Amino acid sequence: RFVGGPMYYIEKGLKMKWLAYVFAVFGAIAAFGIGNMVQSNSVAASLEVSFGVNKLVTGFLLAILSAIVIIGGIKRIGQVTERLVPFMAAFYVIGGLYIIIINISHIGEAFGLIFGSAFTGSAAVGGFAGSTMKIAMTRGIARGVFSNEAGLGSAPIAHAAATTDHPVRQGLWGVFEVFVDTIIICSITALSIIMSGVWSSGATGSELTTLAFDKTIPGIGGYIVSIGILLFAFSTILGWAYYGERCAEYIFGPKVNMIYRIIWIPFIVIGAIGGLNALWDLADTLNGLMAIPNLIGVLGLSGVVIKLTKDFFTSELSESSSNIDV
């Protein structure tokens, strides 16, 4: 099997094994925040609003389903997520686009509110006007990282397990993932919330999205969000279980794999019944600690990336020219 990720390219590329260990430690721990407890909390909150399901019950059911897949390892995780991801993305995007189309007359107001609130006093809730830029950037970066994981170093762990003819080709898929996740799906979510008028309701997290869909698509809107969040979060829990396990394996060896999986499961339940703000703060802190060693590795190896990218596109252009000549 192929294994990789920041801990390997930091060790092999920069010859800084100590920094590779730092990343692996923070990665193994951070996975419990961004990839576990926050996800189960979102699912539990959404199902409670839409279906009245107790959060503890949701936590236990999600933990059982996750255990069935996670214990089976990367192959089973891949089999499940490759079926869930396309379906859940289409399911959610169609609902979001419907809300935007129905409220298309408010599109200008929505963008005005987004940019206006980011750089005016209204963005500094409970603070002072001079802090608005800092708050906008801090929250924007934190939520952006949470959305697409860019810079964290988590995605390379999954990409390393892929079979490909060139690392740059696989890297381009990583760029595409960030674009779809943030530019398309997150933009649709934000516009749906603002254009439906529920942004000022006082709700937070997944409950806010549920209200937006339920208001515009009465009867089934809340169900669309709940099912979408369930599928998104479930696949994220599976993927991050693999990321965290690889980090732990780098430190302790393969013997830790099953132990990590067993420890992973009960935290799904803990996250489901935990406080949302506390979980977000924990996840943001751990994400930052995980990103620092990876960004050092990315900057240190940027020359290698540039060289490989030039070689790749030169080869692709040459091949295209040859095909045209034929």
Q: Tell me what the mean pLDDT of segment 57-84 comes to.
A: 82
Per-residue model confidence (pLDDT) at position 299: 94
Which residue's entry shows tokens 């045209």?
324
**Could you tell me which residues come within 8 angstroms of residue 146 by beta carbon, excluding any fewer than 6 positions away?**
34, 38, 283, 284, 287
> Alpha-carbon distance 263 to 268, whole Å?
10
For the chain, percent of residues with pLDDT exceeding 70: 86
Per-residue model confidence (pLDDT) at position 138: 58
Per-residue model confidence (pLDDT) at position 310: 93
- Each residue's pLDDT tens digit, 98-153: 999 999 998 998 888 887 776 665 544 444 444 454 555 556 666 666 667 778 89
pTM score: 0.82
Which range, 77-91, 100-114, 148-162, is most confident? 100-114
Contact 55, 252 (CB under 8 A): no
| Collapsed DSSP state (helix, strand, coil) of residue 163 | coil
Minimal CA–CA distance to 300: which of 12, 85, 22, 43?
Answer: 12
Alpha-carbon Rg for the chain in angstroms:
21
Higher pLDDT, 199 or 270: 270
Q: Which two structure tokens, joined as six digits, stand for 148?
A: 């697409």
How big is the CA angle at 268 (ends 262 and 273), to the nearest 5 degrees? 145
